[in-house]
Amino acid sequence: MNVFLVHAHPEPKSLNGSLKDLAVDTLSGLGHEVQVSDLYTMRWKAVADAGDFADPGNSERLVYWRESKRAYLGGSQSEDVAAEQKKLLWADAVILQFPMWWFSVPAILKGWFERVFAYGFAYGVGQHGGERWGDRYGEGTLLGRRALVSVTIGGRAPHYSPRGVNGMLDDLLFPIQHGTLYYPGMAVLEPFVIYQADRLSLDDWAGIAERYRARLHSLFTDAPIPYRRQNGGHYDSQQVLKDGLGLGAAGTGIHLLRPGDPPEAPLAQP
């Protein structure tokens, strides 16, 4: 299978760098093809701006999504953006390796999403109108691919527990896992998380490596997070979860399928 790893850490000799290297070695050893985008090494352009469009449709006033759509559909995107989209389409699984900074991805990775996840590619896909809000959340261009977030966190696990002071990790990752990866159709796996990343000693590495190798071995067999499909019948015409669903779930957990839920409508044939 094909695995695309997006790496966002400024220091090769960091825990993130070691996890990236481990993933490449392990996946290659399993016979998978691996491509890596090491955003810092590539000096990835993090900021979405007019410079992304060589031939703007409206040079008087930049409307980013409109130019993004024009460039995507017209084949005039920046080469760096088009190259990343090609890797996403090539991939059967996408791994994001990053440190959690201010409860989200580093800016360089945020900017990768903003520029690569173009209109027509990752959003604005499918029929919009009436009660149909496009192909998103379980449908879209990246349907059929898996996504794994591998994240290092400075704080302690209890601070990220369901009632921890930082907020529950699942809620903090929701904008990334649900809002960004599931949005264009990827099946998102449970995240691989290392807490207290700055407090580890060399002795801890063997255990971490073993734990991560196990996750990489089951990359194509682990059950994804059971997010509800937008067009599966569980949301009403205003895209609000229907009465009676998600009862007793906490926070963003209402968007997960639960035992006893009515079956979702089958995916429309492409």
Residue 131: closest CA among 266, 265, 229, 233: 233
* DSSP bridge partners of 123: 119
Q: Return the range that interacts with its own copies (CB under 8 A); candidates 54-62, 80-88, 202-210, 217-225.
A: 54-62
Decide whether 50 or 214 has the Cβ nearer to its own copies. 50
Tokens of residue 207, six digits: 């255990």
Instruction: Point out which span in 20-28, 80-88, 215-223, 238-246 binds its own copies (CB under 8 A).
Output: 238-246
DSSP string, 24-58: HHHHHHTT-EEEEEETTTTT-----SGGG-SS-S-
Judged by CB under 8 A, the residue of 6, 48, 189, 208 near its own copies is 48
Scan residues 177-236 and list those touching its own copies (CB under 8 A). 178-180, 198, 230, 235
Q: Which of 238, 244, 260, 270 binds its own copies (CB under 8 A)?
A: 238
- The answer to whether residue 144 forms part of the interface with its own copies (CB under 8 A) is no
H or E segment to which residue 3 belongs: strand 2-7
Q: Which stretch binds its own copies (CB under 8 A): 70-78, 80-88, 167-175, 218-226?
A: 167-175
> How does DSSP classify residue 101?
B
Q: How many whole angstroms separate alpha carbon 199 and alpha carbon 186?
A: 33
Tokens of 268: 């429309």
Dihedral sign of CA atoms 212, 213, 215, 219 in order: positive
Which residues sit at the interface with its own copies, rule CB under 8 A?
10-11, 13-14, 40, 46-50, 60-65, 101-108, 110-111, 113-114, 117, 133, 137, 154, 156, 158-159, 161, 163-168, 171-172, 174-175, 178-180, 198, 230, 235, 238-241, 246, 250-252, 254-255
